[in-house]
């Protein structure tokens, strides 16, 4: 979902282009799941003729201060985004609406036209956002319940260390808690923990003062950098784990991992590529580092700086971390080390004879995430019914499935026939024995 850097980029865009302008037209979507506790017509009437004075943000929430209340407030949810027609505004990695889409987009929930002709729209494809009309957004939930803003109200190192010492929850889950620190979401949490070399499931209270200080520093640096580049992920440092936590299909260059960018080649882009290559005399060492030229083979798995990225569940969210660098410490590490290693069996098929081994650390991670789940019942359960393959399945696969089904059917038929034969035989013996017992004995 959009996090502090993306929402701050939207706030700055509104501040730069919309302040001092009057709203002459408003269109609010008739969507009660997103438009909270006010009708579309009342919302529109409250906006018309108002002037935008300022734009504010706390955590992942944004609100516009008009020349009189009430004020529109935006909770971005999973895919909320601000668009200003003709203005480049950074959108969340997975929330962008195509430029070729109709304007305003069919996903628009809040649309206004200003007196100079500028148009602004808040869109939400997945409908998890909330758009509210409030007299004082900062004084009521959800904004009033937020913890200190990670950018505007950072804790001191001592305050941060002291607060962590009182929290037994896993550090990743704590960072996602907006009542503790507001603005940090899934990707920011993964990034700061990776930079600080801290395991996502490490208990907050068990962290050393050094680890607390390092994490405090990383939160500040990552957020400030992301905000400075307007949350434009293409400008994030190449060594950030951000680039490798989405598709899980990176390439590898000189021991460093390079994101494989998907490029839509337009005529303009082709000319840019050619001009750049000519400019450096076709010297490939001077080509931009993010060119796919440098990494044309996809590697399996996900890596960063030559080290494997694993994906686990922490704080209820998919979490990317590097086991080689982000290790559990203290009592958690001791408990993990005391457990015996489990090895997976070698693969019977294929030319690769490598053995995959599950580390104690990974076992502990799985166990930690499943504490609330009861033990699995022993013994074999019923096998789930085989799913029918779609019509698009390959012929070879379909053939294999049919052959397996035929073989199973033959075995089942054979067993059934054998059982029937035995039953018939036993029944005949029983009848014969019964008849013999009824025959009268011959007199001597």
Concatenate the DSSP letters of all residues of 5-56 into one string: HHHHHHHHHHHHHTTT-BEEEEEE---TTTB-SS-HHHHHHHHTT-BEEEEE
Rounded Cα gap, residues 224 and 230, in angstroms = 10
Beta-sheet strands, E only, within 309-422: 310-314, 317-321, 342-343, 357-358
Continuous segment of H or E residues that includes residue 213: helix 209-228
* 211-261 pLDDT, tens digit each: 999 999 999 999 999 999 999 998 999 889 998 877 655 444 334 443 333
Q: Count CA within 13 A, CB hemisphere, residue 188.
A: 33
* 328-375 pLDDT, tens digit each: 888 888 887 777 654 444 444 444 333 333 344 444 444 444 444 445
Residue 118 predicted with pLDDT over 70? yes
pLDDT of residue 194: 95
Residue 428 predicted with pLDDT over 80? no
On whether the CB atoms of residues 59 and 152 are closer than 8 A, the answer is: no
Mean pLDDT over 13-36 rounds to 97
State the catalytic residues: 2-3, 60
CATH number assigned to the domain with residue range 157-231, chosen from the 4 options 3.30.360.10, 1.10.8.50, 3.40.50.300, 3.90.550.10: 1.10.8.50
- Phi and psi at residue 271, in whole multiples of 5°? -60, -40
Q: What is the dihedral of CA 316, 322, 324, 327, to 10 degrees?
A: -30
- Do the domains 4-145 and 157-231 sit in the same CATH topology, yes or no? no
Residue 300 predicted with pLDDT over 80? no
Rounded Cα gap, residues 321 and 435, in angstroms = 79
Return the higher-pLDDT residue of 22 and 412.
Answer: 22
CA distance readout (Å), 418 to 79, 110, 333, 412, 424: 62, 72, 57, 10, 10
Rounded Cα gap, residues 205 and 193, in angstroms = 15
On whether the CB atoms of residues 250 and 244 are closer than 8 A, the answer is: yes
CATH topology of domain 4-145: N-terminal domain of MutM-like DNA repair proteins (3.20.190)
> In terms of DSSP bridges, do strands 108-114 and 119-124 run parallel, antiparallel, or are they unpaired?
antiparallel
Rounded Cα gap, residues 321 and 197, in angstroms = 9
Angle at 323 (CA atoms; ends 318, 326), nearest 5 degrees = 90
- Phi and psi at residue 120, in whole multiples of 5°? -130, 140
pTM of the model: 0.64
Return the higher-pLDDT residue of 300 and 208.
Answer: 208
Rounded Cα gap, residues 414 and 410, in angstroms = 6
Helix axis angle, 209-228 relative to 157-164, nearest 10°?
120
Rounded Cα gap, residues 349 and 208, in angstroms = 46
> How is the chain split into domains, by residue range?
4-145, 157-231, 251-341+359-367
């Amino acid at each position: 979902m959009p996090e502090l850097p993306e929402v701050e980029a939207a706030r700055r865009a509104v501040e730069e282009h919309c302040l001092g302008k009057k709203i002459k037209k408003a269109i609010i979507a008739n969507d009660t799941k997103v438009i909270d506790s006010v009708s579309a017509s009342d919302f529109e009437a409250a906006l018309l003729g108002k002037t935008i004075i300022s734009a504010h943000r706390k955590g992942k929430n944004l609100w516009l201060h008009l020349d009189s209340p009430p004020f529109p407030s935006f909770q971005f949810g999973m895919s909320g985004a601000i668009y200003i027609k003709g203005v480049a505004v950074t959108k969340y990695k997975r929330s962008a609406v195509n430029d070729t889409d109709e304007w305003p987009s069919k996903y628009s929930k809040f649309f206004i036209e200003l007196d100079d002709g500028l148009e602004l729209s808040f869109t939400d494809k997945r409908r998890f956002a909330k758009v509210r009309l409030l007299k004082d957004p900062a004084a009521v939930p959800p904004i009033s319940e937020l913890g200190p803003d990670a950018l505007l109200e950072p804790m001191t190192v001592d305050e941060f260390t002291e607060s962590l010492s009182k929290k037994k929850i896993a550090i990743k889950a704590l960072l996602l808690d907006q009542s503790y620190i507001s603005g940090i979401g899934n990707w920011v949490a993964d990034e700061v923990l990776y930079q600080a070399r801290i395991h996502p499931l490490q208990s907050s209270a068990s962290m050393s003062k050094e680890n607390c200080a390092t994490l405090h520093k990383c939160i500040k640096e990552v957020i400030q950098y992301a905000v400075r580049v307007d949350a434009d992920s293409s400008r994030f440092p190449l060594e950030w784990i951000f680039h490798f936590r989405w598709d899980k299909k990176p390439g590898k260059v000189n021991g460093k991992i390079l994101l494989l960018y998907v490029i839509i080649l337009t005529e303009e882009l082709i000319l840019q590529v050619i001009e750049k290559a000519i400019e450096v005399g076709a010297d490939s060492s001077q080509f931009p580092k993010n060119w796919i030229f440098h990494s044309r083979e996809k590697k399996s798995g996900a890596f960063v700086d030559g080290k494997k990225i694993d994906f686990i569940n922490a704080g209820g969210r998919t979490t990317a971390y590097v086991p080689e660098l982000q290790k559990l410490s203290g009592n958690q590490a001791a408990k993990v080390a005391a457990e015996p290693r489990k090895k997976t069996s070698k693969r019977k098929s294929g030319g690769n004879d490598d053995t995959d081994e599950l580390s104690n650390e990974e076992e502990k991670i799985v166990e930690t995430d499943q504490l609330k789940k009861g033990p699995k019942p022993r013994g074999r359960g019923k096998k789930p019914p085989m799913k029918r393959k779609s019509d698009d399945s390959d012929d070879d696969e379909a053939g294999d499935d049919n052959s397996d089904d035929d073989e199973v059917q033959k075995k089942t038929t054979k067993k059934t026939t054998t059982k029937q034969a035995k039953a018939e035989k036993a029944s005949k013996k029983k009848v014969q024995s019964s008849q013999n017992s009824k025959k009268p004995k011959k007199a001597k």
